[in-house]
Amino acid sequence: MKRKHWSDYLWIASSVYLALGFFNILFAWLGMICFITPLFLSVIGGSKIYCNRYCGRGQLFELLGSGFGLSMKRNPPRFLRSKWFRYGFLTFFMTMFLLMIYNTYLVFAGAGLREAVTLLWVFRLPWNWTNTSFAAPWAAQFAFGFYGVMLTSTVLGLVTMIIFKPRTWCVYCPMGTMTQGICIMKHRKERENGRKSETNSGTFKNIGQ
Amino acid sequence: MYLSKKKANITTQCVACGCCVKTCPFGAITIHKGICAVIDGQKCVGCGKCEAVCPASVIYIALREDVKNEA
């Protein structure tokens, strides 16, 4: 039996994060860790180590789907893994994220704070039981928006976990698509640079002759 | 000499999520540069655990001979 690593328990962090949002929406800011870390690791390291080892959400789906048997474990439809769908979903997700940033800017510029979490980009859930008075209104607005993004992805992940395989969310996760895209670009560039240096060294050899 | 006649194979639509890596009891799968999973044919016994767990359904088990013929 494989020994458990500390990173195998990151599902606890994901669960705690989702729970904390119910107590105080400002905890939503912590979600930025899940947003920046995978990008940082893929840009610097050129790998998907975050998805492979440190993604608490993926672990949570695995635990619920396989451990608790909540998944029907059916194969997901083919379109879900197609480049068109994955990059299309990434574009859509990022557009909604930018809209959320714009709303934060509006509050920063003087618009009123909207104490609601938008679920699945349509449903506005009133979220006015948390005290946000000690934070700047724009910071609170960002927290509402970001928690909506995190909750939406969790709900989508849970639905696809139940209907299909436990980690079906990983197939079309915008962060996963983005980090894989970064890795592809990074290694393509390295390969091209490698080829160039090979050509250059060849040219120098020829000149030398 | 291979341990089994069967072997896991991965199509080009792999999302490199790493589920198969964790599941493989023989450590035969690695994620290549964050782009896709790669199977070590020497270690793979074609048990099918990776096929069962792959969320993108891009892994399939086939006879080594069949895969050679396809190539």
Tokens for A6, please give them.
Answer: 């500390």
Task: Give chain B positions within 8 Å (CB) of A49.
Answer: 34
> Angle formed by the axes of helices A10-23 and A137-163, to 10°?
130
Please tell me what DSSP assigns to residue A28: G
| Residue closest to A153 by CA, chosen among A134, A137, A129, A177 | A177
User: How far is it, in rounded angstroms, from Cα A2 to Cα B32?
Assistant: 22
CB-based contact B34 A47, cutoff 8 Å? yes
Please report whether residue B17 resides in a domain: yes
User: How far is it, in rounded angstroms, from Cα A115 to Cα A130?
Assistant: 9
Q: Where are the domains of chain A?
A: 6-187
B26: domain CATH number? 3.30.70.20
Please report whether residue B1 resides in a domain: no
Reported ipTM exceeds the 0.95 cut: no
Closest CA of chain A from B46, distance in Å = 19
Q: What pLDDT, on a 0 to 100 scale, did the predictor assign at position B70?
A: 61
Name residues whose C-beta falls within 8 Å of residue A126's C-beta, 6 or more positions apart in sequence.
A115, A116
pLDDT tens-place values along chain B, 71 residues long = 666 889 999 999 999 999 999 999 999 999 999 999 999 999 999 999 999 999 999 999 999 877 666 65
Tokens for A125, please give them.
Answer: 């859930």
pTM equals 0.88
A183 touches chain B (CB under 8 A): yes
Burial class (CB in 10 A: 0-12, 13-18, 19+), A133: exposed
Please report whether residue B28 resides in a domain: yes
Which range marks the domain in which residue B50 is found?
6-70
Task: Give chain B positions within 8 Å (CB) of A83.
Answer: 13
CB-based contact B15 A52, cutoff 8 Å? no
A166 touches chain B (CB under 8 A): yes
User: How far is it, in rounded angstroms, from Cα A178 to Cα A43?
Assistant: 11
Q: Which residue has the tokens 């695995």?
A: A62
User: How far is it, in rounded angstroms, from Cα B13 to Cα A204?
Assistant: 40
CB-based contact B16 A184, cutoff 8 Å? no
Q: Which residue has the tokens 């016994």?
A: B45
Helices (H), chain A: 10-23, 32-45, 49, 56-62, 83-108, 137-163, 169-172, 174-208
Closest CA of chain A from B50, distance in Å = 12
Number of domains in chain B: 1
User: How far is it, in rounded angstroms, from Cα A28 to Cα A63?
Assistant: 23
User: How far is it, in rounded angstroms, from Cα A193 to Cα B65?
Assistant: 37
Cα A39 from chain centroid (whole Å): 9
Task: Give chain B positions within 8 Å (CB) of A174.
Answer: none
pLDDT tens-place values along chain A, 209 residues long = 667 889 999 999 999 999 999 999 999 999 999 999 999 999 999 999 999 999 999 999 999 999 999 999 999 999 999 999 999 999 999 999 999 999 999 999 988 888 899 999 889 999 888 888 889 999 999 999 999 999 999 999 999 999 999 999 999 999 999 999 999 999 887 778 777 665 555 444 443 33
